[in-house]
């Protein structure tokens, strides 16, 4: 699956599970974390093997920049103040070490090994929690759904890494085929419908367009 599809599935699920429980500002930041989580799983991809990586990166950076600008200029929110308000500096450093260490380990062990395992999910989410507190839930949701969606295609994931068992895939779809596009479209439509049902269209128009 492409990064765009992973991001779409992530934010669609977040719209149903997490967005209804928080205010709109928290939701916008949370959706940013969910998108980052949905991309982070593939930090074990080597650039040369991923021709689509630049278009995915542009897509992710565009959405995250848009969220940042909305929060800063429409809501007058300083998101840097919000991140892990209660987390002491030493724990934040530990969080950065866990994340950077995980990405390095993911690249050493190879694609769909450590980064696509339950231990990788747990340690990456812990790293984000140490930096950003509760937003780690959004990150973890995006990350976990990436792993679930990847199970659909033909390259196995080492879910129980480093154990030699637990290599799983269902070989149902190709990563860039029709199902990828369909899944992405369904997820974006689901996300849009759910967001409109939560906030109503006039409210969204007043906030985002007016
Ligand atoms: Zn993946």
Gap from CA of 78 to ligand 1 centroid (Å): 32
How high is the pLDDT of residue 85?
A: 65
Cα–Cα distance between 102 and 207 in angstroms, integer? Answer: 38
Ranges in the chain, pLDDT < 50: none
Gap from CA of 177 to ligand 1 centroid (Å): 15
Gap from CA of 41 to ligand 1 centroid (Å): 6
In the DSSP assignment, the letter for residue 173 is B
Gap from CA of 143 to ligand 1 centroid (Å): 9
φ, ψ of residue 37 to 5 degrees: the values are: -60, -40
Q: Of 9, 54, 6, 18, which is closest to residue 138 (Cα–Cα)?
A: 18
Model pTM?
0.89
Gap from CA of 147 to ligand 1 centroid (Å): 6
Q: In the structure encoding, which two tokens stand for residue 107, read together? A: 């690249």
How high is the pLDDT of residue 7?
A: 94
How high is the pLDDT of residue 53?
A: 67
How high is the pLDDT of residue 142?
A: 98
How high is the pLDDT of residue 98?
A: 96
- Find tokens 């974006």 and name the residue: 188
Cα–Cα distance between 179 and 205 in angstroms, integer? Answer: 32
* Count of Cβ atoms closer than 10 Å to residue 92 Cβ: 16
């Amino acid at each position: 699956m492409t990064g765009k599809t992973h991001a779409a599935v992530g934010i669609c699920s977040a719209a149903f599970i997490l967005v209804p429980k928080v205010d709109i500002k928290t939701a916008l930041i949370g959706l940013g974390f969910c998108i980052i989580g949905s991309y982070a799983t593939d930090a074990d991809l080597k650039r040369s093997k991923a021709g689509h990586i630049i278009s995915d990166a542009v897509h992710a950076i565009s959405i995250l920049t848009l969220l940042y600008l909305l929060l800063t200029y429409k809501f007058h929110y300083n998101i840097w103040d919000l991140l892990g308000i209660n987390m002491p500096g030493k724990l934040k450093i530990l969080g950065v070490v866990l994340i950077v260490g995980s990405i390095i380990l993911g690249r050493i062990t190879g694609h769909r090994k450590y980064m696509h395992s339950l231990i990788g999910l747990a340690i990456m989410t812990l790293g984000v929690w140490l930096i950003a507190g509760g937003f780690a839930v959004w990150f973890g949701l995006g990350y976990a759904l990436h792993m679930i969606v990847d199970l659909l295609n033909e390259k196995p994931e080492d879910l129980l890494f480093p154990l030699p068992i637990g290599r799983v895939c269902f070989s149902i779809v190709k990563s860039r085929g029709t199902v990828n596009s369909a899944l992405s479209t369904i997820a974006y439509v689901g996300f849009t419908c759910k967001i409109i049902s939560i906030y109503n269209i006039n409210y969204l128009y007043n906030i985002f367009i007016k």
